[in-house]
Amino acid sequence: MDAKNKFNLFLPGLQSDSNNDVSLIAADLREKVTVVGHYKAKNQKVNLLAEKSYATKDFSSFSEIANQFISDFALENIDLISVAVPGPVIAGKSEPQRLKWILEEEEIKRETKVGHVFLINDLEASAYGLQNVDESDFVKVHDCGTFTPGNVALLAPGEGLGEAALFWDGQALRPFATEGGHCEFSPRTNDEVEFYSFLQKIYGIVSWESVLSTAGLFNVYRFLRDVKQQKQPDWLTKEIEADNFTEAIIQGAIEDKDRVCKMTIETFLTYLAREANSLVLKMKATGGLYLTGQIPVMLEQFLTNKKFYKNFIISDKMENILSDIPIYLVKDEKTIINGAALYAAFNKN
């Protein structure tokens, strides 16, 4: 994978010859499907040799998935395993909310007989993966004209709401995870107060993840349907029953198929712009905002029509800073697994 962008990550082992020919397994662990890849580190890059997807619910632990992958490809002499998990990693342990597993580096070592195991937050992994994204997979949402190195923010609504950042130390970017998606949502208008009350009855505490995720997109829709009395068309009823809501509502908005589709997407994008604004200001991310994940990629034509940007720069006193922030949509869907591999291969001398 050739990197052709501005990212210069802090990877202390990148120049070390000892990391050449390292054989490793990386995984993007998710609630429904886990993607596992076999990589070889060579010449400051990680090269994908084999990849397979597994239904997560079919296994009782990540170690079972890893061992199945090793068996499927008859792999030997694996040096490292790196697992990107949808949740916080603390002291080599993680208990993702959307999974019923407790993951521990030491336990995975024992069960897979691989000497080195790394757990990394999935959005932190995605931040590392930006280094290997080809220039053609970055779509400009807003180009400020000039580029000044600085902190970078990463926002990824998907099954959950991932948020991460990269700290600019003056020479390189250092990725780090956050759990900002679980901060509380706050309403701005009277309609949003109604929306907040609607969600509070369901969740008690209303987080941004309850608004900006696949479940959040459905929450926006059912508020418009149930509280604002927007009619649910018969074709959408069938799509909801077939568990195909996200794709259906977005495609419906693209095709201008029904008023409620367009209203849902426009409302969702308003909230996305607002949380993007908050994340950028909190991280002072003058180096740029990067939108990744399943939903933004599907919403490309809406993100690039200037309306998102106009909502993004709304602020009490910081519009001058926000207007200078470059914004990109990342279309490469493998940043998480590639970033997990890159981190494991080169994070140590």
List of E strands, the chain: 23-28, 33-42, 45-55, 80-85, 93-94, 103-104, 116-121, 138-142, 152-157, 161-168, 173-177, 288-291, 327-330
pLDDT at position 167 is 97
In this prediction, residue 6 carries a pLDDT of: 65
Confidence (pLDDT) at 269: 98
Q: What average pLDDT does range 332-343 have in this prediction?
A: 95
Provide the β-strand partners of residue 165: 153, 176
CA–CA distance from 319 to each of 280, 282, 315 (Å)?
Answer: 12, 14, 6
- pLDDT above 90 covers what percent of the chain? 86
* Res. 5: pLDDT tops 60: no
Position of tokens 């090793």? 70
Q: What is the mean pLDDT of residues 229-249?
A: 97
Which domains are delineated in the chain?
3-129+341-347 (3.30.420.40), 136-331 (3.40.367.20)
**Does residue 236 or residue 13 have the better pLDDT?**
236
Confidence of residue 265 (pLDDT cuts 50, 70, 90): very high
Q: How many CB atoms lie within 10 A of CB 289?
A: 23
Q: Are strands 161-168 and 152-157 parallel, antiparallel or unpaired?
A: antiparallel
Query: Span 96-118, mean pLDDT?
Result: 94
Where residue 240 falls among pLDDT bands split at 50, 70, 90?
very high
Are 126 and 162 a contacting pair, CB within 8 Å? yes
User: pLDDT per residue over 290-328, tens digit each?
Assistant: 999 889 999 999 999 999 999 999 999 999 999 999 999
Q: Specify the pTM.
A: 0.93
Q: Residue 122 contacts by C-beta under 8 Å, 6 or more apart in sequence?
A: 28, 29, 84, 85, 86, 162, 336
Pseudo-torsion of CA 269, 272, 273, 277, nearest 10°?
Answer: 180
> Per-residue pLDDT tens for 83-101?
999 999 999 999 998 888 9
The whole-number pLDDT of residue 349 equals: 67
CA 86 to chain centre: 9
**Mean pLDDT on 116-138:** 94
Closest CA to 89 of 59, 60, 111, 118: 118
Beta strands of 169-219 (E only): which ranges?
173-177
**Burial code of 291-307, b = ≥16 C-beta within 10 A, e = fewer?**
bbbbbbbbbeebbbeee
Beta bridge partners of 56: none
Measure the CA–CA gap between 15 and 104, rounded to whole angstroms. 29
Predicted pLDDT of residue 1:
34
Distance in Å from the first CA to the final CA of the chain: 21
